[in-house]
Each structure stands twice: as structure tokens, then as C-alpha cells.
């Protein structure tokens, strides 16, 4: 044999060294560059949730990384020259010496693209390193059973327009993530099946026709969850998005949990009652049949395709809203049971509710909390926390663009 030690992951050891360059100096310099970039970007992320903080100086970065002031200064200069980090006007010096220069993520220099095909829209969103949207285009449509080549071709054209615009403004495009509402293999990026689009066994990237842009594919619920990281969330949470189906993503230590092929978070098909109604998946009593959007609307006496506003209006109707409130309570009890299973199985105790659940949260909360309190074994020691999603509209576009930029910060050397 030839030993294959580095292909067998080991739990606590240092990460493998794929290039086999562990002992070479330039790798060490690149690693330090990554440490410095991360110090600036992590501080910016923390400042996003604590407005009283100020950006770090070179001295702060040296203290945080353990690198010497001279090394940090050289590496920061390199990141500034590469336009990945920007310098703000110096703050007044607190001690003798030169005033400290605050370091922040650069604006409108390197950008990432979020792309999405969903059942009723195509979307493109361009984010810069500072987290600002610098371009966006969302086109409404009906893409159930739409032709993949035509649909992805149209999205590719929208993306190419956006790229041309931002490049004309002097920005560099790092890459794109394509969000699809289906089973995407996290290892290969292939789409196995997207039932609501009627697509299956597809390699979607070539159909975009974006030859010069590196594009990777991911499940839309997974990318939508990452949009929450821009706000004040714990490092680990379950993001559940309620619609006709119920999508979810598990974030652990600020990264997507993607064991094996990343096919997880199927909260909608957790067993609520083995004697319950037949689900579209073929099994009985799945959560979707109680808490999916259509199931709730029907139980509330509304058409399955009624807008959410109609349901909200009925819930507010003190006299006539009894049926609607009963429907939402039934959904909430089922949701509490399924989410308790999730917390018991994974130990992740924060639940972020998105999609239609965000607006329904005031009505859902009491029964969801009751179910979690009754069923989560560790609840006396770590009470589960249920909160509304804050990722905003088309969150998968934001999450996708963030993923692209995260890779830039994680390995800034090629941008220098």
C-alpha cells in the first residue's frame, strides 16, 4: 500500500494539509494573512450586534492574533492594497504616539453574487464585503415545471447584467452561489430533485452560461439560514422556513451543518401522529400536514392558495376568527412536538422561525413553547429559545452572497 493517512479525517487533530506545504514559509505567511483578515472581519461582525464597539486598530489585531506589530502592519497593508480592508480616519490617540487607524471591511471593492431559482421568482443579489447590497434584481414568474435550460439561462442573463454593472463601477466579482429549492448534494453540487420545480438529476451550473464566474450550488433553505448570521443570533441554531413545504437548515458554530451529503433539516416530515393524514411524501402524519401553509389555510377555512394576509385578518377577528385560531393552534402544537424532537436529537436549542411563521409567531408561540417545555429533556438546564427570522426577503440571495465573501476572507491571498 501507500499510506493514505490524510484522507482519513481525525477528530481533534489539526486540519490536513492538502497541498503538503506545511513547512514552507509562504504558507505560513498566507496563514497569518488569513488570521489578520479574520480578526478584522470578526470584529466587524461582532460590532454589527454591539453598536457601542469601535473597529480594531493594527495594535488590536496584533493583540488578538498574537502576531507581532510589525507582521500585522505588513499584512494589513497588503489587505488594504488588495482592497479587502479599508482604513477609517484615525481616532484621537488615547496615549502618546500616533493615533490608531480603525480597520473595517472594504466597501464596493470585492463582491459576491447570490442567485436563486424558486417557484415564483428568479433573483440576483450582489453584496460587498461590508455586507451592503450593491445590486439586486428579482423577477417574478411561475417556474413550476419550467424548462431548466430556459429558466437557468434567463437567470444567467440577469446575473451577467449585474456583473457588468458592478464591474463597470470598478468592483471585482469573487463568485456566485446558486440557491435551488431541492435536494442538492453538498459534496458535488448536483441537484438530485427539486419537486416544486419538477426538476431532477441536473447539473445546473452550465445552464447558467456564466463561463468566467465560479458558481456553486446549494439548497435555498440552507443559504437562507446563513442570512441570519448578519444579525444577533447564537452561534448554533435551527432555521425553519414555513411555506407549503417546511424547509430548515442547521447552523452549528456559525457554519452549516452538512454531515454526509448535507441532506438534513427535513422538519416537515417529522412524525407528529402515525394515524394522521397522508402526506405528499407518502407517509402519514408528517408535520407538513399540520403546519405547512396550505394545511393551515385549509384548516382555517380558506383556499389553499389564499394570501397570508387573509389568514392574519381572520386571526385578528375577535368574533369570527375561532376556526382560524384553532387551525394555527393545531399547527403550533404539531410544530412544538416536531421541534422538541429536533432539540432532543441535536442539542441545538435556538429555533429561528422564517417564512410564514415569522408573521404567525405571536399566535404560534404559546403552544410551541408549551410543547418544547413539556418534551425537551434538557429544558430545565437550557430552555429552548424560539424567535422570528430576521434575514429579510429573499434571504437565500443574501446567504449565498455571504458564503462567496466568506471564502474570500478565509483565503485572501489570491486577491492581493
Q: Which of 266, 252, 263 is nearest to 341 (CA)?
A: 266
Q: 260 or 305: whose CB is closer to its own copies?
A: 260
| φ, ψ (nearest 5 deg) of residue 357 | -65, -25
Q: 160 or 258: whose CB is closer to its own copies?
A: 258
Q: Where do we find the cell 501507500? A: 2
Least distance to its own copies, CB of residue 272, Å: 7
Least distance to its own copies, CB of residue 40, Å: 7
Q: 180 or 409: whose CB is closer to its own copies?
A: 409
Report the C-alpha gap between 340 and 279 in whole angstroms.
21
Least distance to its own copies, CB of residue 55, Å: 8
Q: 33 or 302: whose CB is closer to its own copies?
A: 33
Q: What letter would DSSP give residue 414? A: G
Least distance to its own copies, CB of residue 342, Å: 6
For the chain, counts of helices (H) and of strands (E): 12, 15
Contact by Cβ (8 Å): 338, 266:
no
Strand partners of residue 216: 177
Least distance to its own copies, CB of residue 161, Å: 29
Report the C-alpha gap between 59 and 408 in whole angstroms.
23
Q: 168 or 259: whose CB is closer to its own copies?
A: 259
Least distance to its own copies, CB of residue 73, Å: 13
CB atoms within 10 A of CB 10: 10
Contact by Cβ (8 Å): 75, 32:
yes
Least distance to its own copies, CB of residue 50, Å: 8
Q: 122 or 357: whose CB is closer to its own copies?
A: 357
Report the C-alpha gap between 26 and 400 in whole angstroms.
30
Q: Where do we find the cell 435551488? A: 180
Q: 248 or 300: whose CB is closer to its own copies?
A: 248
Report the C-alpha gap between 204 and 180 in whole angstroms.
9
How many angstroms from the chain centroid is the CA of residue 130? 17
Least distance to its own copies, CB of residue 201, Å: 10
Grid cell in block for residue 285: 402524519
Q: 179 or 246: whose CB is closer to its own copies?
A: 246
Using DSSP's 3-state secondary structure scheme, residue 89 falls into coil
Report the C-alpha gap between 225 and 243 in whole angstroms.
15
Amino acid at each position: 500500500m501507500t499510506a493514505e493517512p490524510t484522507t482519513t479525517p481525525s477528530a481533534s487533530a489539526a486540519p490536513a494539509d492538502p497541498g503538503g506545504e506545511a513547512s514552507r514559509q509562504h504558507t505560513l505567511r498566507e496563514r497569518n494573512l488569513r488570521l489578520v483578515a479574520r480578526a478584522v472581519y470578526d470584529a466587524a461582525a461582532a460590532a454589527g450586534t454591539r453598536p457601542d464597539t469601535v473597529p480594531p486598530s493594527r495594535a488590536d489585531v496584533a493583540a488578538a492574533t498574537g502576531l507581532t506589530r510589525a507582521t500585522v502592519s505588513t499584512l494589513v497593508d497588503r489587505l488594504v492594497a488588495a482592497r479587502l480592508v479599508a482604513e477609517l480616519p484615525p481616532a484621537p490617540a488615547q496615549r502618546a504616539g500616533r493615533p490608531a487607524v480603525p480597520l473595517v471591511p472594504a466597501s464596493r471593492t470585492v463582491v459576491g453574487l447570490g442567485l436563486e431559482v424558486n417557484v415564483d421568482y428568479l433573483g440576483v443579489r450582489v453584496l460587498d464585503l461590508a455586507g451592503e447590497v450593491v445590486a439586486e434584481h428579482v423577477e417574478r414568474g411561475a417556474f413550476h415545471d419550467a424548462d431548466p435550460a430556459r429558466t437557468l439561462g434567463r437567470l444567467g442573463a440577469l446575473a451577467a447584467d449585474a456583473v457588468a454593472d458592478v464591474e463597470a463601477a470598478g468592483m471585482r466579482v469573487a463568485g456566485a452561489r446558486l440557491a435551488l429549492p431541492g435536494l442538492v448534494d453538498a459534496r458535488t453540487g448536483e441537484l438530485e430533485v427539486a419537486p416544486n420545480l419538477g426538476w431532477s438529476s441536473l447539473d445546473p451550473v452550465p445552464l447558467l452560461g456564466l463561463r468566467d464566474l465560479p458558481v456553486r450550488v446549494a439548497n435555498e433553505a440552507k443559504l437562507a439560514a446563513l442570512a441570519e448570521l448578519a444579525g444577533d443570533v447564537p452561534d448554533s441554531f435551527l432555521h425553519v422556513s414555513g411555506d407549503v413545504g417546511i424547509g430548515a437548515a442547521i447552523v452549528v458554530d456559525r457554519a452549516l451543518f452538512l454531515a454526509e451529503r448535507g441532506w438534513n433539516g427535513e422538519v416537515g416530515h417529522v412524525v407528529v401522529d402515525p394515524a394522521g393524514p397522508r402526506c405528499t411524501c407518502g407517509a402519514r402524519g408528517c408535520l407538513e400536514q399540520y403546519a405547512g401553509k396550505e394545511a393551515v389555510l385549509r384548516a382555517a377555512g380558506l383556499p389553499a392558495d389564499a394570501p397570508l394576509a387573509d389568514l392574519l385578518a381572520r386571526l385578528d377577528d375577535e368574533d369570527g376568527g375561532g376556526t382560524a385560531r384553532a387551525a394555527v393552534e393545531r399547527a403550533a402544537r404539531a410544530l412544538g412536538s416536531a421541534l422538541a424532537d429536533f432539540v432532543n436529537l441535536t442539542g441545538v436549542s435556538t429555533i429561528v422561525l422564517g417564512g410564514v411563521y415569522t408573521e404567525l409567531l405571536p399566535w404560534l408561540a404559546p403552544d410551541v413553547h408549551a410543547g418544547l417545555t413539556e418534551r425537551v429533556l434538557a429544558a430545565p438546564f437550557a430552555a429552548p429559545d424560539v424567535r422570528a427570522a430576521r434575514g429579510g426577503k429573499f434571504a437565500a440571495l443574501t446567504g449565498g452572497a455571504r458564503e462567496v465573501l466568506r471564502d474570500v476572507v478565509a483565503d485572501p491571498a489570491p486577491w492581493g
